[in-house]
Every structure is written in C-alpha cells, then in structure tokens.
Amino acid sequence: MTQFSESELASQAAESLRVGNLTEAERLSREVLPSDACHPVACYVQGSVFHQRGQNAQATTFLRRALERDPNNPGLHHYLGVVLGSASEYAAAEVSLCEAFRLSPMDAEIRVSLARIFLVQSKLSESREAYSQCLRLRPNHPAALEGMGDVSL
C-alpha cells in the first residue's frame, strides 16, 4: 500500500472536492486531520463539504481552523464570509469579507460577496459602493450588474 504525505492527501482531497466527489474529499481530508488538525487545505475541504451539506456550524469550525494556520489567505476569509452569510450570521460574515477585501483588494468576487452581505443588512449605500467597485474592475460582471439593479430599486 502506498503511503501519501499529508500534502499529497490534502491535494487529492481538494481535487475530489473540485470534481464533486464529496465523500472521497471528506475521507481523504479526514486522514490528514489527526496529525495536523489545522492543515489549511484539509480544513478548507472539510468546511466545503459541510457547507455543501448545509451544515454551516461545522463548516465554520473547520474554516476557522484553517485560518489559524493561514490567517493571510483571502480565499479562506472569503469562503468563511460566504458560509457565515448562509448561516444568517451577517455581522460576522461582513467582518470576514472585509478582511478578505483588505488582503485582496482587486478581487471582484469578494466585492460582490461583500455587497450581498451589505444588502441583506439593508446597508444600501455600502452595497451600492461595493457593486460599483466590482464593476470598475470587471465592467460586465453579471452578479454586480444584477446587484446594482437590486440596490437601485
């Protein structure tokens, strides 16, 4: 039997997640966690699996673990914000998304996610500004164009 390193197992788990095999992604990432409970890729995969299964509390736990090890990863902050938003934890989602934005100010997708969180909190001017910033980066961004319509009503 071939032994894989933690990094190899985590990479295989991420690939399984990418192709939609949640069961295999979960199994492979769980193999990493006993020896490294905060492995960023394994925790991200676990968080993604739990989120896709609608188990946002567990997803949040794993994503926060990943951020313990990799606190400057805008993608982890972004995804945590999305998960928190899905769980209706809007204030916490806003904090996480603002950190993602601080770390990656040119990422249009982060701006859209932040605009959506502002919108559900009825922060219309902040939402409008975030959508506008996104459109300056990507003028035909479909979600930003749609969102601008929502905040203009």
Tens-place pLDDT, residues 60-114:
999 999 999 999 999 999 999 999 999 999 999 999 999 999 999 999 999 999 9
**The three-state (H, E, C) secondary structure of the chain, written as one string:** CCCCCHHHHHHHHHHHHHCCCHHHHHHHHHHHCCCCCCCHHHHHHHHHHHHHCCCHHHHHHHHHHHHHHCCCCHHHHHHHHHHHHHCCCHHHHHHHHHHHHHHCCCCHHHHHHHHHHHHHCCCHHHHHHHHHHHHHHCCCCHHHHHHHHHHCC
Q: What is the pLDDT of residues 43-59, one digit of tens each?
A: 999 999 999 999 999 99
The tokens describing 93, both together, are: 């989602």
Is pTM beyond 0.85? Reply is yes
Q: Which of 31-35, 62-66, 122-126, 133-137 has the lowest mean pLDDT?
A: 31-35
Q: Which residues of 86-96 are buried (b: 16+ CB within 10 A; e: fewer)?
A: ebebbebbbbb
Residue keyed to tokens 């990094």:
7
**Is the CB of residue 29 less than 8 Å from the CB of residue 10?**
yes
pLDDT at 26 over 60: yes
pLDDT band at residue 9, thresholds of 50, 70 and 90? confident
